[in-house]
């Protein structure tokens, strides 16, 4: 399937997003990284997110620089072991304080996440998409390094028997990536997880007690919605 794709960078951390064809939203190319959380921590005045909080996250999933990313340590690039409420706070931070005026940045609903997966499953993976991303004029140098390092590591991480089966959804880690928080309902009150879970497919409902828990290999990927 051949499409003209549109990419942009966020004005806060200068990380890349992809506009999902046929939809009114964009997704970050990668799950939320430790580089991005460090931007958040440098700006927030919320005392919950102090040095101790971050060190606890790193104790469970250590920090890594792009040059050290390999198939074995790929997940270390991303923020995991967070609660639903924390994931929502980080996502909504992108559109606070006048950033992205007129657009809504938040966690995706499960339906939005699945629609993005279905669309990107129809598009073959292509190195030219990576080239377009890393040449975006406003992309952060660390984001450029992470995009390249993750793409190199993913091909071993995803264990595809035939490289021709690789789709754009693989390049974004929507398929064969990590688990990502989503809203289970359109009212955005309950949560679930989408992504890599061999037991339950692409959607994992989370019970109400789970929303305050920290689940290994569970991170987030903000969505940017256009105003209606």
Cα separation, 71 vs 74, whole angstroms: 5
Asked whether the beta carbons of 166 and 124 are under 8 A apart, the reply is yes
Element (H, E) at 205: strand 203-205
Mean pLDDT for the stretch of residues 1-14: 85
Triad 147, 116, 217: Cα angle to 5°: 55
Asked whether the beta carbons of 39 and 13 are under 8 A apart, the reply is yes
Residue 156 has pLDDT above 90, yes or no: no
Percentage of the chain exceeding pLDDT 70:
90
Domains of the chain by range and CATH? 7-226 (3.90.1580)
Q: What pLDDT is recorded for position 197? A: 47
Mean pLDDT (the chain) is 88
Q: Are strands 191-194 and 179-183 parallel, antiparallel or unpaired?
A: antiparallel
Short-list 24, 20, 16, 26, CA closest to 5:
20
Radius of gyration of the chain (CA): 16
Q: What pLDDT is recorded for position 102? A: 66
Residue 72, Ramachandran bin (φ over 0: left; ψ between -120 and 50: alpha; else beta): alpha
Cα separation, 62 vs 159, whole angstroms: 23
Cα separation, 142 vs 149, whole angstroms: 10
Q: What pLDDT is recorded for position 153? A: 93
Q: Looking at the DSSP assignment, which residues form a beta bridge with residue 167?
A: 124
Q: What pLDDT is recorded for position 200? A: 45
Q: What pLDDT is recorded for position 1? A: 47
Residue 219 has pLDDT above 60, yes or no: yes
Strand arrangement, sheet containing 191-194: 203-205, 191-194, 179-183, 218-219
Tokens for 37? 């959380």
Digit-coded pLDDT (tens) for 103-142:
789 999 999 999 999 999 999 999 999 999 999 999 999 9
Digit-coded pLDDT (tens) for 83-109:
999 999 999 999 887 777 667 899 999
Triad 7, 182, 139: Cα angle to 5°: 25
- pTM score, two decimals? 0.91
Asked whether the beta carbons of 222 and 32 are under 8 A apart, the reply is yes
CB neighbours (10 Å) of residue 122?
12
Residue 186 has pLDDT above 50, yes or no: yes
């Amino acid at each position: 399937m051949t499409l003209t794709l549109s990419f942009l960078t966020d004005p806060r951390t200068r990380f890349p997003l992809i506009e999902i064809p046929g939809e009114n939203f964009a997704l970050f190319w990668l799950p939320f990284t430790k580089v991005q959380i460090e931007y958040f921590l440098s700006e927030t005045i919320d005392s919950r997110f102090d040095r101790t909080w971050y060190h606890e996250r790193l104790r469970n999933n250590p920090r890594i620089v792009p040059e050290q990313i390999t198939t074995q340590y790929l997940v270390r690039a991303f923020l995991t072991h967070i609660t639903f409420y924390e994931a929502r706070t980080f996502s909504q931070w992108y559109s606070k304080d006048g950033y992205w005026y007129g657009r809504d940045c938040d966690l995706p609903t499960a339906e939005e996440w699945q629609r993005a997966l279905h669309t990107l499953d129809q598009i073959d993976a292509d190195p030219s998409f990576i080239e377009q991303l890393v040449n975006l004029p406003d992309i952060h140098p660390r984001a450029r390094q992470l995009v390249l390092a993750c793409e190199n590591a993913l091909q071993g991480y995803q264990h595809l028997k035939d490289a021709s089966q690789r789709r754009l959804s693989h390049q974004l880690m929507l398929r064969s990536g990590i688990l990502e928080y989503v809203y289970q309902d359109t009212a955005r009150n309950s949560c679930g997880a989408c992504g890599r879970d061999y037991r339950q497919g692409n959607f994992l409902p989370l019970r109400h007690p789970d929303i305050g828990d920290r689940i290994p290999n569970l991170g987030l990927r903000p969505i940017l919605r256009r105003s209606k």
